[in-house]
Amino acid sequence: GQNIDQPTEMTATEGAIVQINCTYQTSGFNGLFWYQQHAGEAPTFLSYNVLDGLEEKGRFSSFLSRSKGYSYLLLKELQMKDSASYLCAVRDPQAGTALIFGKGTTLSVSS
Amino acid sequence: KAGVTQTPRYLIKTRGQQVTLSCSPISGHRSVSWYQQTPGQGLQFLFEYFSETQRNKGNFPGRFSGRQFSNSRSEMNVSTLELGDSALYLCASSWKENNEQFFGPGTRLTVL
């Protein structure tokens, strides 16, 4: 089967660092994506990992361990505008090119 | 470059009716995927089209169908609407099948 788990909710304060974890169990693996979705808006692409290791892009970094079926999204220097839902998605070649999404982590940033 | 556009943005239908949603991908993108998003189930894959061919289909009943035109625009159709079909329907396009997907703003469908 296919299963992607993320925490449902997280809270943090401005300026802090937060790590959102994602674990996955899929038949195959061909890449892991992180998307950000503000309420009422479309998901926007944040990062893509296909090999083990850390990918850094400004205040956002994403890590992947394929052997552990694990990824995290690290957000640094949090800002109020980072309050959103963060979606982890895996591409499983056994499911074609479809993205299999977790249910998302709602992050609330307070001042 | 314009993003993915979806029409209509909001739609209210009653049970038993049918609905057609439209998606225009980013210019040059040939792959279009459709997803259903609900609070309980999150984002679930419906189907993907590439060069007018359905390449992949999710686990949804046959009431859900779609097609893609030669200009890469895509439509999805839901027949015999049920209350549970109320959801945000998102379309995403990518240049090729395995590339990053760019999402449109979605169509919010409410079935009464």
pLDDT tens readout for residues A15-56:
999 999 999 998 888 899 999 999 989 999 999 999 999 999
Determine whether the interchain pair B100/A48 forms a contact, defined as Cβ–Cβ distance below 8 Å: yes
Q: Please report which confidence band the pLDDT of residue B98 belongs to, taking 50, 70 and 90 as the band edges.
A: low
Residues 32 to 91 of A: which have CB under 8 A from any B CB?
33, 35, 41-45, 48, 87, 89, 91
Q: Peptide bond before B8: cis, by omega within 30 degrees of 0?
A: yes
What pLDDT sits at residue B2? 80
Q: Is the model more confident about A111 or about B100?
A: A111
Determine whether the interchain pair B45/A100 forms a contact, defined as Cβ–Cβ distance below 8 Å: yes
Q: Which residues of A touch B97 (CB under 8 A)?
A: 97
Q: What are B38-49's pLDDT values in tens digits?
A: 988 899 999 999
Nearest to B42 among A30, A91, A101 (CB): A101
What pLDDT sits at residue A71? 98
Burial of A24 (0-12, 13-18, 19+ CB in 10 A): buried
What pLDDT sits at residue B3? 92
Nearest to B105 among A35, A42, A102 (CB): A42
CA distance A53 to B59: 32
Cβ-based contacts under 8 A for chains A and B: 57
Nearest to B43 among A44, A87, A96 (CB): A87
> Is B85 at the interface with chain A, CB within 8 A?
no
The answer to whether A26 and A92 are in contact (CB under 8 A) is: yes
HSE (side-chain half, CA atoms, 13 Å) at A17: 8
HSE (side-chain half, CA atoms, 13 Å) at A101: 27
Q: How far apart are the first and last CA of chain A?
A: 41
The answer to whether A27 and A94 are in contact (CB under 8 A) is: yes
Burial of A35 (0-12, 13-18, 19+ CB in 10 A): buried
